[in-house]
A and B are shown apart, each in its own frame.
Chain A
Amino acid sequence: MRNTTAPPDPEAPLQSPPAPAPAPEHRPRRLATPAGTAVAATFLALFLLLSAVLAIGLGSAVIPPLETLRHLWAALTGGVISADEVTRHQVVWEIRAPRVLLAAVVGAGLGAVGVAVQAMVRNPLADPYILGVSSGASVGAVLVGVVGGLAALGVYAVSVGAFLGALAATLLVYAIAHDRRGVTPLRLVLTGVALSFGFQAIMSVIVYLAPGNEATGTVLYWTMGGFGGATWGTLPPAAATILIGVLLLRRMSRPLDVMALGDEAAAGLGVDAPRLRRRLFLLTAVMTGAMVAVSGAIGFVGLVVPHIVRILVGADHRRVLAVAPLAGAVLMVWVDLVARVVAAPRELPLGVITALVGVPVFITLMRRRGYLFGGR
């Protein structure tokens, strides 16, 4: 059988006209190589560790990094601390450590899910919440909080309500956007956006009709997001979901690359884009639901981190998905720190800080690198 591509033969005369002299590369992307990405990922991982220790130490009571490490070490190894240090130990281990770790986990998840969702719906404006997951979660949480129910679940009731709300919203969006030929990206986005408005209206009705201010507070918390509720109990389910989710997404790197070429070209390369989109939809919905259930909807990170990372390491999903979770985690740890320190003892909503930090970083990088996403 004949084959198009005979083994490369350097002697073969090339019929093409002589190639013009190599143009100087006008966008140096030093990090856009496997080695560069490894450097970036290592740097971010170390910086994340450092940031976490600093963030655990800082707050209304400032605890120096070495002392923070000593407390963490004592808690992990079952070491002994003196009686007068008990309060500080509790602050470090019971309050701040789970909070900072949860911020890192959610930041990592938002970064990774943002990348996946933007690829799935082929839209640079997409973020993890675009498919109505977060507003569905808010409705679920508020319903549980105001109407009651799920009481058997105790302190987890509201989180479980949020997660169930997220899943219900997801299924609804999928059912509406779906037809015989699968889900088309644009229809998915439009359905998600439209249903988000619907869920927000439902939420407003609940807040309006519910007695007292309790509902208002719950709604605000779920729509602005925050890590105030972090405990060692909420951390493991979220962390496990995000870790497994990120690993699964990384395994789909190449199909994600191929999907960016369009569904037709993807078919020609053996990638069934509608099927991949269904799997991504399910995976990102579960990951987003798990994050919303523990921290509410924290805006902007899932939108901007993917773009910042692509500007730095290029479009290849293998590289983007190695760096985006770390970048999201670092950003979120610092954002949470700023949110609870700047106006202490009050906490600023996280969405405010993510936007204040993220917007300038994004605009600077975008202008400097001539970043393109599907157009000019």
Chain B
Amino acid sequence: MELRLDGLSVDLDGRRIVRRLTLDVPDGRVVGLVGPNGSGKSTALRCVYRALSPDEGQVLVDGDDLAAMSMRDSARRIAALTQEGGVDLDFTVEELVALGRTPHLPGGRRLDARERELCRWAMARMGVSHLAGRGVLELSGGERQRVLVARALVQEPRVLVLDEPTNHLDVHHRLELLALVRESGVTALVVLHDLNLAAAACDVIGVLSEGALVAVGTPEEVLTEELLHTVFGVEATVVAHPRTGRTQLLYHLPTARKEA
């Protein structure tokens, strides 16, 4: 299933946060969205999981405009892992994962046997089966993040939208999560802060600066020393990973000269 952001513009409180953003996520590909703080990455994603409606432009899945679909219909195709990880009520892990089935359950229907098996599988996949009966409010940040990923898997999406999915995760679970996204073959749009992680995990990277797309292409094409300097304001050396050959960045710590 392919996802297309088509000329997306978003205004919040009179300020234009996203400017005419057009980005294609081909079927089964992982596309990363990177950019400095406040560049509009999360706002663009919110239009995809429909927490916001764009002021201009549209989001298309397989050519269908999301705005013409009910929220439940789009949630059957698109699952989101949002940054807001808080939960008000002390659900058990099992209950929280099962809520991922919500868009597939009309009215008050309960989970059937296949869906319960799916929940167990997703919890096992994310390594949280042992937490099934625990209250989610007792979990550590990383455990909760993995539970939320399990919830997204249970949604059986064909498009996965991840906003900073590696937040709170230790290095093992970070790599594990991105490997899972790649292996699953799902179409994915991922906001990442860690450029090395983005370079390792994404087929295509789009760079946002002040709401506009300033570069898009493979990690090698996009992550140049010049772009890192102009967009992110950092100095780095671009190298090829000695084993995988993928683009990686070695940062230079800024010296104190700017203070003078």
Binding site for B on A (CB under 8 A): 1-5, 8, 14-17, 19-23, 25, 27, 32, 119, 122, 124, 250-251, 253-255, 257-258, 260-265, 267-272, 310, 314-316, 318, 371-376
Among B46, B75, B121, point to the contact of A269 (Cβ < 8 A).
B75
**Is B80 on the interface with A (CB-CB < 8 A)?**
yes
Among A8, A258, A315, A372, point to the contact of B117 (Cβ < 8 A).
A8
7 smallest beta-carbon distances between A and B, as pairs? A270-B75, A16-B127, A268-B80, A8-B121, A315-B89, A270-B72, A270-B103
**Is B74 on the interface with A (CB-CB < 8 A)?**
yes
Expressed in whole angstroms, the minimum distance between the Cβ of B125 and any Cβ of chain A is 7
Given contacts A4-B153, A316-B91, contact A269 B74 (CB under 8 A): no
List residues 122-166 of chain B with CB under 8 A from any CB of chain A: 122, 124-130, 133-135, 137-138, 148, 153-158, 160-161
Verify B88–A374 contact, CB threshold 8 A.
Answer: yes
Verify A3–B156 contact, CB threshold 8 A.
Answer: yes
Q: Binary interface profile of B, 172-203, with partner A (CB < 8 Å = 1, else 0)?
A: 10001001100011100000000000000000
Among B92, B125, B127, B158, point to the contact of A2 (Cβ < 8 A).
B158
Assembled-state Cα–Cα distance A374/B81 (Å): 19
Verify A270–B102 contact, CB threshold 8 A.
Answer: yes
Among B46, B71, B92, point to the contact of A32 (Cβ < 8 A).
B92
Residue numbers in A under 8 Å from B172 (CB-CB): 17
Assembled-state Cα–Cα distance A135/B26 (Å): 57
Verify B158–A5 contact, CB threshold 8 A.
Answer: no
Given contacts A2-B27, A372-B135, A373-B89, contact A270 B76 (CB under 8 A): yes
Verify B186–A314 contact, CB threshold 8 A.
Answer: no
Expressed in whole angstroms, the minimum distance between the Cβ of B150 and any Cβ of chain A is 10
List residues 1-59 of chain B with CB under 8 A from any CB of chain A: 1, 27-28, 46, 49-51
Verify B80–A3 contact, CB threshold 8 A.
Answer: no
Among B108, B124, B155, point to the contact of A254 (Cβ < 8 A).
B108
Residue numbers in B under 8 Å from A21 (CB-CB): 130
Verify A260–B76 contact, CB threshold 8 A.
Answer: no
- Chain B CB within 10 A, most for which of A16, A253, A269: A269
Residue numbers in B under 8 Å from A316 (CB-CB): 91, 95
Verify A265–B155 contact, CB threshold 8 A.
Answer: no
Verify A251–B107 contact, CB threshold 8 A.
Answer: yes
**Is B84 on the interface with A (CB-CB < 8 A)?**
yes
Given contacts A253-B108, A258-B102, contact A4 B160 (CB under 8 A): yes
Expressed in whole angstroms, the minimum distance between the Cβ of A68 and any Cβ of chain B is 38
Assembled-state Cα–Cα distance A346/B179 (Å): 73
Residue numbers in B under 8 Å from A258 (CB-CB): 99, 102
Expressed in whole angstroms, the minimum distance between the Cβ of A263 and any Cβ of chain B is 7
Given contacts A15-B176, A374-B88, A374-B89, contact A257 B99 (CB under 8 A): yes
Interface size on B, residues (CB 8 A): 70
Residue numbers in B under 8 Å from A8 (CB-CB): 117-118, 120-121
Given contacts A260-B87, A270-B71, A372-B135, contact A16 B102 (CB under 8 A): no
Assembled-state Cα–Cα distance A22/B124 (Å): 13
Residue numbers in A under 8 Å from B108 (CB-CB): 250-251, 253-254, 318
Assembled-state Cα–Cα distance A250/B108 (Å): 9
Assembled-state Cα–Cα distance A5/B90 (Å): 27
Residue numbers in A under 8 Å from B133 (CB-CB): 25
Closest to A180 in B: B13
Assembled-state Cα–Cα distance A255/B81 (Å): 18
Verify B82–A264 contact, CB threshold 8 A.
Answer: yes
Given contacts A8-B117, A265-B82, A268-B79, contact A315 B71 (CB under 8 A): no
Chain B: interface secondary structure? mixed
List residues 60-81 of chain B with CB under 8 A from any CB of chain A: 70-76, 78-81
Expressed in whole angstroms, the minimum distance between the Cβ of A342 and any Cβ of chain B is 36
Among A20, A122, A270, point to the contact of B88 (Cβ < 8 A).
A122
Verify B51–A264 contact, CB threshold 8 A.
Answer: yes
Verify A14–B105 contact, CB threshold 8 A.
Answer: no
**Is B100 on the interface with A (CB-CB < 8 A)?**
yes
Among B51, B95, B102, B184, point to the contact of A314 (Cβ < 8 A).
B95
* 19 interchain pairs, CB-CB under 8 A: A2-B186, A4-B156, A5-B122, A16-B124, A21-B130, A23-B130, A25-B133, A257-B91, A257-B99, A261-B87, A264-B51, A264-B80, A267-B50, A268-B161, A269-B103, A270-B72, A270-B103, A314-B92, A318-B108
Residue numbers in B under 8 Å from A2 (CB-CB): 27-28, 158, 184-186
Verify A374–B86 contact, CB threshold 8 A.
Answer: yes
Assembled-state Cα–Cα distance A16/B130 (Å): 12
Among B78, B81, B88, point to the contact of A373 (Cβ < 8 A).
B88
Closest to A2 in B: B185
Assembled-state Cα–Cα distance A20/B100 (Å): 25
Assembled-state Cα–Cα distance A318/B161 (Å): 29
Among B28, B75, B137, point to the contact of A375 (Cβ < 8 A).
B137
Verify B118–A5 contact, CB threshold 8 A.
Answer: yes
Verify A4–B184 contact, CB threshold 8 A.
Answer: yes
Assembled-state Cα–Cα distance A109/B124 (Å): 41
Residue numbers in B under 8 Å from A251 (CB-CB): 107-108
Assembled-state Cα–Cα distance A310/B137 (Å): 14
Expressed in whole angstroms, the minimum distance between the Cβ of B123 and any Cβ of chain A is 10
Among B70, B87, B161, B176, point to the contact of A16 (Cβ < 8 A).
B176
Assembled-state Cα–Cα distance A161/B117 (Å): 55
Closest to B172 in A: A17
Assembled-state Cα–Cα distance A373/B138 (Å): 11
